[in-house]
Amino acid sequence: MSPIITWTFSPILFSIGPVTIRWYGVLFVGAFLLGQFILGRIFSSEGVAQQRAESLLVSALVGGVVGARLAHCLFYEPSYYLHNPLAILRVWEGGLASHGGVVGVLVGIWLASRRFQPRLSFAWILDRAAIPAALGAALIRVANFLNSEIVGVPTSGGWGVIFTAVDQLPRHPVQAYEAIAYTITGLILWSMYRHRGRNIPRGFLFGWLLVLVFSARFFLEAWKVPQAAYEAGQLISVGQYLSLPFVACGVAAIWWSRRAVVPGPFVR
């Protein structure tokens, strides 16, 4: 069967002199702007100022970029960056790892939340941020697809995509698989929130975010081209190894939420 798509899309949106704007950057920032909009609406509906959502998202953006970059350098190309440490700063060359991005976002939100008076519960924030986080992750995977990166292994199925920037082989559009999985996750979380609203136990939505996103990531990694040079011969990939702790943390958060009280958003 012939592939449905031969992908020749340019990753560059436009260039003005030395300045080049790429689709990846637009969608990466767009994911955080979407998160700010959704989180602001949720905050407002629960009596929390929308400006707090803006502050949280700025801090989350910085933390996410730093965490994603460091994780890529540490887990996917450690030898190169140990010998070329200044190259870590060249973010524009690419190389961001989503597992590290999640940790960076959590640290950024935690640091920003500590400045609020009165203090917001960290777990309460994470539950509300879970919905836009899933949808933002879907946008970033769309950006990966547009960029012809993180491609899948070759396939003979009719759904294969030829990424001409990579080679002429039809491959699993695994970025699209992930984008669909994360969109479904966001819709599930939104349905949970709409059903239980303010009475949802702290940690419940965040726990399910981790379980659903990183379970999907674990299984879909099987259709990806290895991302780290040293993966050859390993039973599971680096991405799968890194996903397991997040799934475990999600299960722990769901279990903890069963015993959590359901007060308002503020720390008392």
The pLDDT tens digits of the residues spanning 30-74 come to: 888 898 899 999 999 888 888 888 888 889 989 998 998 999 898
Domain count, the chain: 1
Residues 6+ apart with CB under 8 A from 181: 212, 213, 216, 220
Q: Is the model's pLDDT at 228 over the cut of 80?
A: no
Helix axes 50-75, 23-45, angle to 10 degrees: 140
In a domain, 265, yes or no: no
Position 248 scores a pLDDT of: 97
Pairing between β-strand 161-163 and β-strand 5-7 as defined by DSSP bridges: parallel
Segment 105-123 shows an average pLDDT of 87
The confidence band for 114, taking pLDDT boundaries of 50, 70 and 90, is confident
The confidence band for 118, taking pLDDT boundaries of 50, 70 and 90, is confident
In a domain, 266, yes or no: no
Q: And the tokens for 111?
A: 């640091």
What number of H helices and E strands is found in the chain?
Answer: 8, 5
- Higher pLDDT: 24 or 129? It is 129
Cα distances (Å, whole numbers) of residue 238 to 85, 198, 264: 21, 38, 39
Position 117 scores a pLDDT of: 74
Q: Is the model's pLDDT at 113 over the cut of 90?
A: no
In a domain, 262, yes or no: no
Cα distances (Å, whole numbers) of residue 214 to 24, 218, 235: 22, 6, 18
Q: Is the model's pLDDT at 175 over the cut of 90?
A: yes
Q: Is the model's pLDDT at 155 over the cut of 80?
A: yes
Using one digit for the tens of pLDDT, what is the confidence trace for 129-151?
999 999 999 999 999 999 999 99
Task: Kindly provide the residue ranges of all beta strands, DSSP E only, lying in the chain, ordered along the sequence.
Answer: 5-7, 12-16, 19-22, 161-163, 170-171
148: left (phi over 0), alpha (psi -120 to 50) or beta: left
In a domain, 268, yes or no: no
Q: Is the model's pLDDT at 1 over the cut of 60?
A: no
Look up the domain containing 149 and give its range.
Answer: 5-257
The rounded distance, in Å, linking the Cα atoms of 160 and 175 is: 12
Q: Is the model's pLDDT at 3 over the cut of 60?
A: no
Cβ-based neighbour number of residue 17 at 10 Å: 5
In a domain, 263, yes or no: no
Position 96 scores a pLDDT of: 82
Lowest-confidence region among 83-97, 173-187, 205-219, 235-249: 83-97
In a domain, 77, yes or no: yes
Lowest-confidence region among 181-185, 186-190, 225-229: 225-229
**Average model confidence (pLDDT) for the chain?**
88
In a domain, 267, yes or no: no
Segment 95-104 shows an average pLDDT of 88
The confidence band for 251, taking pLDDT boundaries of 50, 70 and 90, is very high
Segment 146-172 shows an average pLDDT of 92
Nearest to 130 by CA among 220, 192, 223, 69: 192
Q: Is the model's pLDDT at 230 over the cut of 70?
A: no
In a domain, 155, yes or no: yes
Beta bridge partners of 5: 161
Q: Is the model's pLDDT at 236 over the cut of 80?
A: yes
Instruction: Quote the pTM value.
Output: 0.90
User: What phi, psi does 77 have (nearest 5°)?
Assistant: -140, 55
Q: Which long-range contacts (CB under 8 A, 24 or more apart) does 163-169 make?
A: 163/7, 164/6, 164/7, 164/8, 165/7, 165/8
Question: Which residue reads 């003979």 in tokens?
Answer: 156
Using one digit for the tens of pLDDT, what is the confidence trace for 35-45?
889 999 999 98
Question: Which residue reads 């308002």 in tokens?
Answer: 264
Q: And the tokens for 230?
A: 């040293």
Residues 6+ apart with CB under 8 A from 240: 217, 218, 221, 222
